[in-house]
Amino acid sequence: MKLDRIPNIKNLESQNFFLLAGPCAIEGEAMALRIAEEIVNITTRLRIPYVFKGSFKKANRSRVDSFTGIGDEKALKILQKVSQTFEVPTVTDVHTNEDAAKAAEYVDILQIPAFLVRQTDLVVAAAETGKTVNLKKGQFMSPESMKHAVNKVLDTQNEQAMITDRGTMFGYQDMVVDFRGIPTMKNYAPVVLDVTHSLQQPNQSSGVTGGRPALISTIAQAGIAAGVDGIFIETHFDPANAKSDGANMLPLEQLERLLTNLVALKQTVNKLN
C-alpha cells in the first residue's frame, strides 16, 4: 500500500511509521475534535503520517447495556468534520455490508474488526467501495492465514489492504503479541500493530473488558523494533470515563512522550536496516 493513495495524508517524505490513533468510539463532536487537534499537533511536530481513528458504532459489546454509539449518521458526520477540519484521513469499523457502503461516504479507510475478518461478504463489500481496507487479525488466527483475507481485497481489484495485529488469545482472559508474525504478514500487506487492544483482558466476569495500559510503551517499542509499518493507539483525555474500552486506552497526556520515544527508536532501526 502506498501512503500517497490515502487521501490527504501528510508527511509522506517521512521515514517514520504511520499512526492510526483516536478514541475507541465517537462520543460527541467536541471530544472528537479535541482529541484530533492534540494528536495532529503532536504528529505534525514529529513528522508522523497520521490517520484519525474513531468507531461510529460499536457492535461487538460484551453486555447488551454497553455503549454502542450516538447514532450512525451523526458519528459519521463528526468523522467527516475531523477530516475536513484537520486535513487528515479517517478510519472507522464496519460490521455489515450496509455499514461498509454507508461509512465509505464519510471516511477514507474501512476497518474490519478482528472477530469478523473471516466474513467474506463483509471484506469484499468493504473492498468494493474502493476505500483502503484495514484487516484486523483475528485473535484466533495465525499470521499465515491473513494472506487469504488480504487476497479477498486484492481479488476485487482493490490494492489498498493493510493488516493490523491486535494480539492472539492466551487462555480465556488475556492477549499476547507474537512478534514472529510481523515479518510473515509483511509479505502480504503493510502491517500495523494495535498496541492498546493487544493489552486487553477480555471476558471478565463483570462483562466489561479489562486491560494493562502500563505496558503500552513496551508493546509499541517492540513493534517498532520488529519492523511494523504503523502503530494503532486508542487514546482519550479521560480514559476512566470513556464510554468504550477505557481500561486499555492510553491517556492523551502521555501520547507525545510515547511517540517521541518511538520516533527515536524508528530512526535507530532505519540505520540498522
pLDDT value at position 64? 63
CA dihedral 11→137→199→47, nearest 10 degrees, is 0
pLDDT value at position 200? 74
Tens-digit pLDDT profile for residues 250-260: 999 999 999 99
Tens-digit pLDDT profile for residues 156-177: 999 999 999 999 988 777 889 9
Task: Kindly give the parts of the chain with pLDDT less than 70.
Answer: 1-14, 60-67, 201-211, 245
AA letter at 64: V
Tens-digit pLDDT profile for residues 142-151: 999 999 999 9
Q: Exposed/middle/buried for 127, CB within 10 Å: 0-12, 13-18, 19+?
A: buried
Whether the CA torsion 254, 256, 262, 268 is positive or negative: it is negative
pLDDT value at position 6? 60
pLDDT value at position 4? 58
